[in-house]
Amino acid sequence: MADGPHTVFIEAGKVRPELFDAHIERRLSSMKGQYLDQEAYRRMLEEEDRLLYEVYELRRPEKEGELLSGISIVHPGKVGEEYFMTKGHFHEVLDTAEIYWCLSGRGVMVMETPEGEWSVKDLSPGTVLYVPPRWAHRSVNTGSGENLVTFFVYPAHAGHDYGTIESKGFRKLMVDRGAGAEVIDNPRWRG
């Protein structure tokens, strides 16, 4: 973590992760109970604890006025019919926004509020997505074989609430039932 003004380089397709402060890897085993087809999940995990997504972070003090930023890379693949995705989370300080910039790949952001609104927005290179305060968000790679790479910025005091999504799930899921990416209701959603 640099103290003064500092720069990193993240041209599309040319991310230089060595410039980032931290590298987080999320594997299949960390997504227990999150995918709809639990039998497919179990079988896949028996074969290999695959890397689903990675985050490179620029560290800053987690206090108001600072910004946290980094690169998220969701790898391509499916668990059963359901696309690889991030855990997804609310911000612990619910009234904080986030901005995503899609650098490469194809995907969607699945979002919802505690009040029951939901939204699914397409991500392709050049898309800047505003996730307003109160919206939980999850990146999903719906592309065919490419990584979904986004740059994100959010207020540093926002924090992460993963627990709510882990126990309730998202209202909507992204699946491929043969005709490409579609949004379906999550039959296991617990309101």
Instruction: State the residues that interact with a copy of itself by CB under 8 A.
Output: 2-11, 14, 58, 60, 64-67, 69, 93, 95-99, 101, 109, 111, 117, 119, 121-123, 125-133, 135, 151, 153-156, 158
Distance of alpha carbon 9 from alpha carbon 20, whole angstroms: 10
51 or 120, CB closer to a copy of itself? 120
Q: How far apart are CA 118 and CA 112, in angstroms?
A: 4
Residue closer to a copy of itself, measured from CB, 87 or 134: 134
Closest approach, Cβ 55 to a copy of itself, in A, equals 15
DSSP state of 113: -
Bridge partner residues of 172 (DSSP): 185
Rounded to 5 degrees, what are φ and ψ at 167?
A: -90, -30
E strand or H helix at 60: none
Residue closer to a copy of itself (CB basis): 154 or 170: 154
CB closer to a copy of itself out of 38 and 119: 119
Residue entry with tokens 């592309």: 143
The least CB distance from residue 31 to a copy of itself, in Å, is 23
